[in-house]
Amino acid sequence: MKPSTKDQLHGEFHEAKGRAAVVMVGFLLSVIFATATLAVASPGKVKSSATAATTAVDHVENRIKQLRGAINITEVQEPLWNNLTKVMRENAKEMDTLTKERGTNPKVMNAVEELKFHLTITQAQVAQLEEFIPLFEALYGSMSDEQKMSADAMFQKGQHHKKKK
């Protein structure tokens, strides 16, 4: 039996909602991994001003501005938005602290120490995602269909995957 248009729209809505959450998680992981990679790749080296400007905090602040512009947060959504951006900022600060500690440590780590450092970063990422996802879901759930489409489109920019037709 062919599903009704209403069922199709309902299914597409939930699929889009899931994609947005996955894309946001991917975005956060890319910010976190990029910051961690910068710190690990050059421990003890002085970073240039160009590199110093690419901290997780800087990246998140730019992303917050982009998101706000794309999504057009309403006055009613402002508390949800503020909760989300607060966590984004806290997570970025935490990741910058972790990677800065590693980057300023002149000691060369052995393989086991490197693995333990990456475990610390991964555990921080998991904790951050567990805090972030419910807040993002709440905001996303409050969005109009137009806002969701804007958010989905923004998160999908630069993604190298084929869209379903």
Q: Is residue 76 within 8 Å of residue 142, measured between CB atoms?
A: yes
Does residue 16 surpass a pLDDT of 90?
Answer: no
Domain membership of residue 90 (yes or no) is yes
In a domain, 161, yes or no: no
Is 3 inside any structural domain? no
Dist. CA 124–CA 56, nearest whole Å: 14
Domain count, the chain: 1
What tens digit of pLDDT does each residue of 94-108 get?
A: 999 988 877 777 678
Asked whether residue 164 is assigned to any structural domain, the reply reads no
For the stretch 9-16, contacts whose Cβ atoms lie closer than 8 Å and that sit 24 or more positions apart, written own/partner, are 13/145, 16/148, 16/149, 16/152
Question: Residue 31 and residue 127: Cα distance in Å, rounded?
Answer: 15
Q: Is the pLDDT of residue 58 over 90?
A: yes
Predicted confidence at residue 102, as pLDDT, reads 77
Mean pLDDT, the chain, rounded, equals 76
Residue 160 located in a structural domain: no
Specify if 49 maps to a domain. yes
DSSP type of residue 143 = S
pLDDT tens per residue across span 113-159: 889 989 999 999 999 999 999 999 999 999 999 999 998 988 787 54
Residue 70, in any domain of the structure: yes
Domain that holds residue 20: 9-155
pLDDT of residue 13: 53
